[in-house]
Amino acid sequence: MAGIYIHVPFCKSRCFYCDFFKSTKLQLRNQFLGQLLNELSERRDFFPSTDNVIESVYFGGGTPSLIAIEKLEEILNIIRKNYFLSDFAEITIEANPDDLNLKYLSGLRSIGFNRISLGIQSFFDEDLTKMGRRHDSIQSRRVIDQTYNAGFENVGIDLIYGLPWSGEEKFSQNLKILNEYPLKHLSAYHLTIEPGTQFGREKKRKKLFEIEEEQSERLFWQLHNEAEKMGFDHYEISNFCRDGLFSRHNTSYWTGKSYLGAGPGAHSFDGTRRYWNKSDLNQYIELGYKSGISNEILTERDRFNERLMLGLRTKRGVNMIELREYYPGFMDNFETHIQKWIQQGFLQQWDGMLFGTRKGWFVIDGIIEDLFEV
């Protein structure tokens, strides 16, 4: 199951917490699109013949919903022409409520998008204003309704929690509101204040602080418990789905499948080698992706660590039988090392899988780091 990721590096403005690579120079969109189409056709032989059926196409960013329907269709047509796109592929677009209306959403459906991920972040205007978002809660609700009216069934939203001015009660109300819709997917990310963002600058001036760890943990379990009551499966540390509709795009990363990332800053993996395009929109536009692409062969240690990291962040965990088969050289050390986490109740083994317990999941990133082979 291979995938294609399209990185659209434009946003109308910068949200106060965001450190993703993006540009607000929307006038460069057409030049970017020209180079993107070149990249997609020139890299048509990227996938190994054993893993070249594209089951997932994902438009992320930035803000892909800033691209006109005809242009999105051109991109999909280039993909259809140059790659083996499965008839059953999941074709997703990330979209912001302030760009959407029924006509645009219907256009997305008509050209083949069958999954949409809406950047809602909160259903409260106070939160949206303080985060520098461009939409309000009325737009959010209207757009979710329109998304269904346009014929989307597989609809997901993103939420941000752990906002310093907000608490458990408001978060609970956010979760209740999302439960009014038959959403199939929820991505919920804890706010982190990154240097170089508006929030980072406010933190430096001591005007904004991250919430305490205990409150973060309470919010995490509130999210887990309430989402599970609503019928969501908490399948990855930040991701929840209903009806088994986990994100195929994310899952192909987590399970080590090949993926091609096109656009400035996008990463790719062909099963052996990892590639990354330079995060430089001007260079991409002027000289094309080839001028800035780098790559490295993943060592056995890199692959082992990656498999560990991606697996332990999921509910399913990491497959010990596969680890023993593919990485026998690391296993003596690893199996000794995990014992302390198992004895302290942070990790558990069952049916050949190693996974985080309830106690372990909240701190899983620290456990993974401790288990890395160096």
H helices present in the chain, as ranges: 29-42, 69-82, 102-111, 125-130, 137-149, 168-178, 198-204, 213-229, 248-254, 281-287, 300-312, 320-326, 328-343, 358-361, 364-371
By the rule CB under 6 A, 14 interacts with ligand SF4 = yes
Closest CB 291 distance from ligand SF4, rounded Å: 24
CB 15 within 8 A of CB 133: yes
| 18 or 318: CB nearest ligand SF4 | 18
Window 314-333: residues binding ligand SF4 (CB under 6 A)? none
By the rule CB under 6 A, 61 interacts with ligand SF4 = yes
By the rule CB under 6 A, 146 interacts with ligand SF4 = no
The CA distance from 29 to 67, in Å, is: 8
CB 15 within 8 A of CB 98: no
By the rule CB under 6 A, 25 interacts with ligand SF4 = no
* Options 3, 62, 97, 156; binder of ligand SF4; rule CB under 6 A: 62
Closest CB 19 distance from ligand SF4, rounded Å: 8
DSSP string for 30-74 = HHHHHHHHHHHHHTTT-S-GGG-EEEEEEEEES-GGGS-HHHHHH
* Options 35, 63, 137, 174; binder of ligand SF4; rule CB under 6 A: 63
Closest CB 119 distance from ligand SF4, rounded Å: 6
DSSP string for 106-164 = HHHHHHT--EEEEEEE-S-HHHHHHTT-S--HHHHHHHHHHHHHTT--EEEEEEEE--T
By the rule CB under 6 A, 191 interacts with ligand SF4 = no
* Options 2, 4, 15, 310; binder of ligand SF4; rule CB under 6 A: 15
Which residue minimizes CB distance to ligand SF4?
18
Closest CB 126 distance from ligand SF4, rounded Å: 17
Letter string b/e over residues 322-359, b meaning 16 or more CB atoms within 10 A of that residue's CB: ebeeebeebeeebeeebeebeeeebbbeeeebbbbeee
Is the Cα torsion angle 296, 299, 305, 306 positive or negative in sign? positive
Closest CB 12 distance from ligand SF4, rounded Å: 8
Compute the residue count for the chain: 374
| 61 or 356: CB nearest ligand SF4 | 61
The CA distance from 205 to 29, in Å, is: 35
By the rule CB under 6 A, 18 interacts with ligand SF4 = yes
Closest CB 18 distance from ligand SF4, rounded Å: 3
By the rule CB under 6 A, 20 interacts with ligand SF4 = yes
Please count the residues of this chain forming the interface with ligand SF4, following the rule CB under 6 A: 11
| 265 or 311: CB nearest ligand SF4 | 265
Window 112-131: residues binding ligand SF4 (CB under 6 A)? 119
Closest CB 273 distance from ligand SF4, rounded Å: 28
By the rule CB under 6 A, 135 interacts with ligand SF4 = no
Closest CB 10 distance from ligand SF4, rounded Å: 8
| 96 or 187: CB nearest ligand SF4 | 96
Closest CB 72 distance from ligand SF4, rounded Å: 17
Is the Cα torsion angle 224, 213, 168, 123 positive or negative in sign? negative
| 55 or 127: CB nearest ligand SF4 | 127
| 281 or 368: CB nearest ligand SF4 | 281
| 96 or 154: CB nearest ligand SF4 | 96
Peptide bond before residue 107 is cis, with ω within 30 degrees of 0: no
3-class secondary-structure state, position 185: strand
As given in the structure block, the two tokens for residue 304 are 């082992």
By the rule CB under 6 A, 96 interacts with ligand SF4 = yes
As given in the structure block, the two tokens for residue 362 are 């909240």
The CA distance from 354 to 314, in Å, is: 10
Q: Which stretch binds ligand SF4 (CB under 6 A): 58-66, 186-194, 214-222, 280-288?
A: 58-66
Residues in contact with ligand SF4 by the rule CB under 6 A: 11, 14-15, 18, 20, 22, 61-63, 96, 119
